C-alpha cells in the first residue's frame, strides 16, 4: 500500500494557526540525556547529539526501564497542519500563547508537522490554549 500523499506544506501564518488541529498522542514521554557515544534505542521517538550528550525522547516506560535520569515527563501534542519548515512565526505564535498560560513547551519540527512536548500535568490546559488560538485565528480569517 503506497504512503498517503500529504497536502502541500503551508507557509501562511494565518492558515497555519487556523488549521493547526492539535491532537494529543496517547502515552507519556520522557526527555533524557545519555553519554555522547551512546547508541540510540529503537524505541526513541527523537534524538539529538549535543556536545554534552545524547538527548532522547522516549516512551516514559522505556526511559524508566533503562534507569536514566528523566529530565522532563511530557505529553506529546501534534499540530496536524502540514507546516512548511520555511514558515515564519508559527512556532512563535503557539509558544507565546502557551507561555502566557505558564506552560513550558518543547518543540520538534519534523518535515510535515510540529510536535510539542508539554509537562504531563499541563497537557489538558495546553490543549485548551491551542484550541482557543486556532479558533481565534479561524475567526480572523473568516472575518476578512
Residue 85 lies in a domain: yes
- List, for residues 40-79, the tens digit of each pLDDT value: 888 899 999 999 999 999 999 999 998 889 999 999 999 9
Q: 4 in a domain, yes or no?
A: no
Strand ranges (E), 60-143: 70-79, 106-109, 114-119
What is the Cα–Cα distance from 128 to 138, expressed in whole angstroms? 15
Q: Which residues are 107's β-sheet partners?
A: 116
Q: Count of domains in the chain?
A: 1
- On whether residue 43 sits in a domain, the answer given is yes
> Residue ranges of the chain with pLDDT lower than 50?
none
In a domain, 7, yes or no: no
6 within a domain of the structure (yes/no): no
pTM: 0.90
Please give the radius of gyration of the chain, using alpha carbons only, rounded to the nearest integer: 16
User: For the domain that residue 45 is a member of, what is the CATH number?
Assistant: 3.30.2130.10
In terms of residue numbers, what domain contains 89?
13-142
Amino acid at each position: 500500500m503506497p504512503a498517503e500523499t500529504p497536502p502541500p506544506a503551508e507557509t501562511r501564518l494565518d492558515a497555519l494557526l487556523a488549521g493547526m488541529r492539535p491532537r494529543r498522542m496517547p502515552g507519556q514521554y520522557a526527555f533524557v540525556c545519555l553519554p555522547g557515544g551512546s547508541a540510540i534505542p529503537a524505541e526513541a521517538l527523537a534524538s539529538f547529539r549535543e556536545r554534552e550528550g545524547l538527548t532522547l525522547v522516549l516512551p516514559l516506560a522505556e526511559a524508566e526501564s533503562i534507569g536514566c535520569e528523566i529530565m522532563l515527563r511530557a505529553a506529546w501534542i501534534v499540530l496536524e497542519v502540514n507546516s512548511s519548515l520555511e514558515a515564519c512565526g508559527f512556532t512563535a505564535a503557539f509558544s507565546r500563547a502557551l507561555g502566557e498560560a505558564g506552560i513550558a513547551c518543547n518543540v520538534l519540527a519534523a518535515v510535515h508537522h510540529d510536535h510539542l512536548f508539554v509537562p504531563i500535568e499541563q497537557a489538558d490546559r495546553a490543549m485548551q490554549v491551542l484550541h482557543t488560538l486556532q479558533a481565534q485565528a479561524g475567526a480572523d480569517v473568516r472575518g476578512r
